Structure 1
Amino acid sequence: MAADKDPSVRFGQLPLTKYTRDLDDPRRRNHGILIGSIIHSPTVRFKCKMIKQKGQIGINIYTMWFKPLTNSTEDAMATKRARDFLLGWILNPILFGDYPEIIKKNAGSRLPSFSYSESQKVKGSFDFIGINYYFAFYVADDPSIPKTGLRDYNSDMFAKFTGYGLGVVDTINEINDVGRITFLSGFIGSVLDSIRDGIDVRGYFIWTFVDGYELISGYSSRFGLYHVNFEDSEHERTPKLSAHWITFLGDAILTIRQCYTCYCTEVTTMDGLGSLVRIQTLQASFHIK
């Protein structure tokens, strides 16, 4: 992938560009959202305080993660550019008060800038950050792309996970979606690892409850825990195996919420015939408050 390119142009696709006047529109709109947070956040917080509500202001970021294809310096730099363009143009301002240097250098005057006052106000203007994460990509440097400067930046980003799911082209009427359970189990384990690493994780949300219409893939990708028969006029809904699994997991967590330590050796559920099915073998202990 050409990691230097505008984040709206990814993998040969131009999603939603027919609704924009030019490729600078996303930059201007993103800047407007950030400036809007400066203007409206204090008002919202004040009103929440006045009516004794514990409201919080946050932003949800659609993204993927990137890893270098090889250990080469070129691939590492390309990966950093990809992260800056897809993540940094939103995260950097609200964490550090300005856009990544690579974006400012590439976009030049086409990128709106923050005044000193705006920079100080936008930094830390959100109470939480949501990462709407789908999957990861390996990134390789493309030598045909003109090289640009890169900020010397050795620290990694932090993440809060609030949304994840698995969209696959399910077999028709597939209910026993063991693959989705394995996928979600891995992500829940990653959230637990983040908590152990000291990340202030407030929660997570699985995308999504039922099969529905996806913006780019239509009805071909199914993210739901419940299967929807789109050929049926009533759109019959049937719980998949993953729905039973997440229900079991939620019930198990509720039973140990009084600050107990749980040691889990395996996760099981019942199949459609009433037989016990082992979903995954685990060797993990965790503490839940």
Structure 2
Amino acid sequence: MDFMYGWFMDPLTSGEYPKSMRLLVGARLPKFTAEQARLLKGSYDFIGLNYYTSLYATDAPQLRNAKPSYVTDSLVNPAFERDGKPIGIKVASDWLYVYPRGIEDLLLYTKEKYNNPLIYITENGINEYDDPTLSVEESLMDIFRIDYHYRHLFYLRCAIRNCVNVRGYYIWSLFDNFEWSSGYTARFGMTFVDYKNDLKRYEKLSALWFKDFLKEETRLYAE
């Protein structure tokens, strides 16, 4: 966590990098001056968290002899599987395994370690690969996306009930978009964009569900 999350959070809250990073990275890790530390500490209005998935982590002492790099410095092996069992269902992207409980774990961790800062979930979403064999009507039936957000909202509510200071939740994404190295082949949107027909837009089933969810008091039940 220190190498993926504390790397950003610790300077903002304490004015220095995590102790584990300072010990393991040593002289290769830049040091803040006293003035830089003063300016950094508390220099945020809110914390924006992007959550998609979670990883297992196992001790990797053998990496002490590896070439120093960001990948090896933490002496940890990250993995999506443990004992041959994946942490969740894998979707289109290789890095996205569905693990809704992780959003609650991350929020509770943030509350305890960083004195419960104001938080907005700035990204949370799931994708499918573009399938040119499907009709537009078929492409709108994204029940899996409704399930994904329903479960994440359930655990988000659990965190809020445990006094985590979360004030907003933003879905990734409103529209299908150009997605990094995947380009237009990965669709994260709740709105289907027809790339072959003048970029016409159609609400997917998840968009209709989310509109109803926001209008009404929707009950969220455990898995």
TM-score in terms of structure 2 length: 0.68
Instruction: Give the 5 Å matches for 1:69-84.
Output: 83-84=1-2
Give the structure 2 partner of residue 181 of structure 1. Answer: 146
The answer to whether 1:190 aligns with 2:150 is no
Instruction: State the distance in 1 between where 2:173 and 2:196 align.
Output: 20
Give the structure 2 partner of residue 122 of structure 1. Answer: 40
Letter aligned with residue 244 of structure 1:
L
After superposition, the Cα gap between the structure-2 partners of 1:263 and 1:249, relative to the gap in structure 1 and judged at 3 Å, is closer
Instruction: State the distance in 1 between where 2:18 and 2:165 align.
Output: 24
Give the structure 2 partner of residue 156 of structure 1. Answer: 109
CA contact (8 A) 2:11 2:17 kept: yes
Instruction: Give the 5 Å matches for 1:1-289.
Output: 83-146=1-64, 156-158=109-111, 160=119, 161-169=121-129, 171=131, 172=134, 173=136, 174-232=139-197, 234-252=198-216, 264=219, 282-283=220-221
3-state SS, counterpart of residue 156 of structure 2: helix
Instruction: State the distance in 2 between where 1:133 and 1:101 align.
Output: 24
Per-residue deviation, 1:170: 5.1
Instruction: State the distance in 2 between where 1:134 and 1:103 align.
Output: 24
Q: Counting helix residues as a fraction of each chain, which structure ranks higher? A: 2
Per-residue deviation, 1:283: 4.1
**Structure number with higher relative contact order (C-alpha < 8 Å, ≥ 6 residues apart):** 2
Instruction: State the distance in 2 between where 1:134 and 1:109 align.
Output: 33
Task: Count how many residue pairs are aligned between Structure 1 and Structure 2.
Answer: 171
Instruction: State the distance in 2 between where 1:110 and 1:247 align.
Output: 49
Letter aligned with residue 110 of structure 2:
M
Between Structure 1 and Structure 2, whose CA radius of gyration is higher? 1
C-alpha RMSD of matched pairs (Å): 2.5
Q: Which runs of 4+ in 1 moved over 4 A?
A: 147-150
Per-residue deviation, 1:129: 0.3
TM-score in terms of structure 1 length: 0.53
Query: Bigger CA drift: 188-197 or 109-118?
Result: 109-118
Per-residue deviation, 1:198: 0.6
CA contact (8 A) 2:15 2:38 kept: yes
Letter aligned with residue 168 of structure 2:
G
Quick one: percent identity of the two aligned structures?
34
Q: Structure 1, unaligned stretches of length 5 or more?
A: 1-82, 253-261, 265-281, 285-289
CA contact (8 A) 2:3 2:74 kept: no
3-state SS, counterpart of residue 211 of structure 1: coil
Query: Bigger CA drift: 213-222 or 104-113?
Result: 104-113
